[in-house]
Amino acid sequence: MNDTRNNQRKHVIVLSVLAVGMLGFAYALVPLYDVFCELTGINGKTSGRAVDPTTVSEVLLKPSDREVTIQFLAQVGNGMPWEFRPTEHRLKVRLGEINTTNYYARNRAAQAVTGQAVPSVTPGYAAKHLHKVECFCFTQQRLEAGEDLYMPVKFYIDDDLPAELHTLSLSYTLFKVQVPKGIPETLSSVQEASSGGTLASNQK
């Protein structure tokens, strides 16, 4: 009888450990998948970090004669009360040359709202060839009620882009960020415009 009870306890312990392990693995899959997508460009996810300035300097010395068309898209997530759109819908660019475009955002809510933009590239395998030097997606953006602003994206497409690709799309989905109560909303807003051509901010 004692042996039977001991075996049952061992089975319960083993099953409990397996259950906890499986739960932990399931939670780990999401960040692991995000890292995998960021490194490989699969699923169209792009890096959330700016490129190394040294790399940019090297690229500036090697502009290509090859041109491709890049389309700009925008959408907002559920519950996000912002108007959000690109200021231009397409641009013809040379590989290895830095280009700048802008997205427009306006908070239509009666209170301040913080947003986070998530980029993606189509087709997905082109994502690793599009490099962002400056992007509003690197930080969360906070707009007061009725406030609007123009948010720059400075990017280049490297000359390793597959030859069969002539058009690609850069899309941003803007999500509402829930800021915990009691925590000051000092989340980063895009810096004011300078002669270098960064952000132009307007109030309506």
Fill in the amino acid letter for 169: S
Give the model's pLDDT for residue 54: 53
Contact 105, 152 (CB under 8 A): no
CATH superfamily of 43-203: Ctag/Cox11 (2.60.370.10)
C-alpha count within 13 angstroms, C-beta hemisphere, residue 27:
5
Overall pTM > 0.75 = no
Instruction: Look up tokens 């395998």; give the residue.
Output: 125
Where along the chain do its domains lie?
2-40, 43-203
Instruction: Look up tokens 């989905």; give the residue.
Output: 173
CA distance 38 to 45: 6
Find, among 64, 146, 71, 138, the residue nearest to 98 by Cα. Answer: 64
Pairing of strands 167-177, 67-76: parallel
Find, among 180, 188, 175, 189, the residue nearest to 80 by Cα. Answer: 175
Fill in the amino acid letter for 127: A
Give the model's pLDDT for residue 2: 56
Q: What is the pLDDT along the chain (204 residues), one digit of tens a residue?
A: 555 656 666 665 655 655 555 444 434 434 444 444 444 444 445 555 555 555 555 545 577 899 999 999 999 999 999 999 999 999 999 999 999 999 999 999 999 999 999 999 999 999 999 999 999 999 999 999 999 999 999 999 999 999 999 999 999 999 999 877 655 544 433 333 333 333 444 444
Fill in the amino acid letter for 85: R
Instruction: Look up tokens 């913080």; give the residue.
Output: 114
